[in-house]
Structure 1
Amino acid sequence: MASHYERELRAVLIGSPDGVRAVTRSCNAAEKARAMQVIRRPFLVVRAAGSGVAGAGDLLAVRGDISFPIEVKATKEKKVYLSGRTMEQYLDLQKEGERCGLMPLYAMRLKGVRGDSWRVFKVETTNLTGSVSVLSRRLPSLPLTRNGTPHLDWDEGLPLHKFLSLLCRDSDSYTQTAETLRSKANAWSEKAETLKMEEAQKAILKQQEPEEWVKKFRL
C-alpha cells in the first residue's frame, strides 16, 4: 500500500501533469496553480534500492540545483509517533543528511481528506549551504513530544502545493531571498548595537548626575 503513495508523490515531483492533477483534484484554483509549477521545473525521482539502504528514504529527488531523500508515510491518523524501527529511520536520515550536506524530508499523506492531503517536514541538520539553506528556513521540522522526541503531526506540516511553489521559483528568487535575510540580520545587529550604546550613555550620564542631597547642599 505504501508503494502506491510513493508512486503518487513521484508522479508529482517528476512534473507529470496527470500526476499533479490527481493530487490536486479537490484543491482550489490557487493551490492547483502553485502545484502545477513543478511541471516547469521537474525532478528526476528514483525509488530507494531497498530497506537495507540506511538513510536513503523511500524516494530520492534530484534536480540541478537541489536534491533530497524523502521518507513517505501514509496514515489515517493526524499524528504518527516514532519508535523502534521508525525512530531508526529518522536517525539514519539525519546522519546521512549531516554526512552529505543534504536536507532529508518526510512526506506525510493523510488518507480520507479533501484538498491537499500531503504535508512536508524537514529533518534537522546543521551543515546546509546555498539554496538548500534558504529553502530549509521555510520548512517546518518534525515537532517534538513533551519528552523531546520527534514525531509527525499533519496539522504542523507544510502543504505540498506550497512546498512545490517554494521549490520551483527561479534561482534568482532564492538569491534575492538570501540577500533579504542577510540585510535584515545586519539591520537587527546594527539596531541592537545602537540600543546597547544608548543604554551605556544613559548609565554614564546617570552616574555623573549629583545625588539629590548634594544638589540641596549646594543651594
Structure 2
Amino acid sequence: MAAPGDTYERELKYLLSGDEKAIAKMVKTCDETETQAYGSMKDFPFMVIRAAGSLGVDLVALRWDFSFPIEVKSSENDVLYMSKNARLVEQANRMMEDCDRCHIIPIYAYRLKGVRGDPWRIFTMPSESRLRGRAALLKERIPKLDVSKGGNFVMRWNDGMKLSELLSYVGMSNYDDRE
C-alpha cells in the first residue's frame, strides 16, 4: 500500500509529464483557463523523476527551459506549519541550502484535499540566491513561503500560485525559436 503522500506525488508527476488520463481527471472541475494550462503539458511535458529519501525532494521536473526540484505536501487544512515536525524543518533548510548553492528554484507544491478546481498551489522559498534569465523571472512570480516569528516556514494554500498559472507561464516559452 502506498504512503499517503505518494498518491499526490504520483498525481503531480503524471500531470507535469503530460499524462492524458491524469490531466482529464484533474480538469473535470477546472475552469477553461485552468483546463487549457493543464492541457499544455500534453504538448510540452516535463520529464519528471521521483526522488527517494526523507531529506531529499519528492520530484525533479526537467525540461529544456525550466528545471526544478519539487517537494510535495498535501493536507485537508489550508495552512501547513512546518514547525510541527522537526523533520520538515530540517528538510526545508537542506532544500534551501542545496538550491541556493546550485542556483536553482526550490518548489513546494501544496495539494489541498477536497477542493473543486485547481487544488494545487505552488510556492518557493525566500532566499537571497541569485538566479539568471528565465529562472530569475520565474522565481519572482512564484509566492514565497511565509516565515513565522520563530523562523519556521508556513504554507498558506490561499496565498500560493495555482499550478495551472505556473503551467501557463512556463508554456509561454517560444518553442519555435531556433537560436
**Residue 105 of structure 1: how far off its partner (Å):** 0.5
Match for 1:123: what amino acid? M
1:96 and 2:102 are equivalent in the alignment: no
1:190 corresponds to which residue?
none
RMSD: 1.4
Match for 1:131: what amino acid? R
| 8 A contact 1:37–1:168 mirrored in 2 | yes
Question: What's the TM-score once normalised by structure 2's chain length?
Answer: 0.89
What is the rounded CA distance, in whole Å, between the counterparts of 1:58 and 1:155 in structure 2?
Answer: 22
1:149 corresponds to which residue?
152
| 8 A contact 2:89–2:152 mirrored in 1 | no
Structure number with larger C-alpha Rg: 1
1:206 corresponds to which residue?
none
- Residue 167 (structure 2) aligned to one of 156, 164, 173: 164
Structure with the bigger RCO (C-alpha within 8 Å, sep 6+) is: 2
1:21 and 2:29 are equivalent in the alignment: no
**Residue 147 of structure 1: how far off its partner (Å):** 4.0
What is the rounded CA distance, in whole Å, between the counterparts of 1:171 and 1:132 in structure 2?
Answer: 15
Secondary structure in 1 aligned to 2:146? coil
User: Sequence identity, in percent?
Assistant: 37
Unaligned runs of 5+ residues in structure 2 are none
What is the rounded CA distance, in whole Å, between the counterparts of 2:52 and 2:31 in structure 1?
Answer: 36
| 8 A contact 1:93–1:123 mirrored in 2 | no
- Count of residues in Structure 1 that have an aligned counterpart in Structure 2: 169
What is the rounded CA distance, in whole Å, between the counterparts of 1:21 and 1:163 in structure 2?
Answer: 18
Map 1:31-42; keep pairs closer than 5 Å.
Answer: 31-42=34-45
**Residue 149 of structure 1: how far off its partner (Å):** 2.7
Unaligned runs of 5+ residues in structure 1 are 173-219
**Residue 72 of structure 1: how far off its partner (Å):** 0.4
| 8 A contact 1:38–1:165 mirrored in 2 | no
Question: What's the TM-score once normalised by structure 1's chain length?
Answer: 0.73
**Residue 77 of structure 1: how far off its partner (Å):** 0.5
What is the rounded CA distance, in whole Å, between the counterparts of 1:142 and 1:62 in structure 2?
Answer: 23
What is the rounded CA distance, in whole Å, between the counterparts of 1:118 and 1:41 in structure 2?
Answer: 19
Secondary structure in 1 aligned to 2:49? strand
1:85 corresponds to which residue?
87
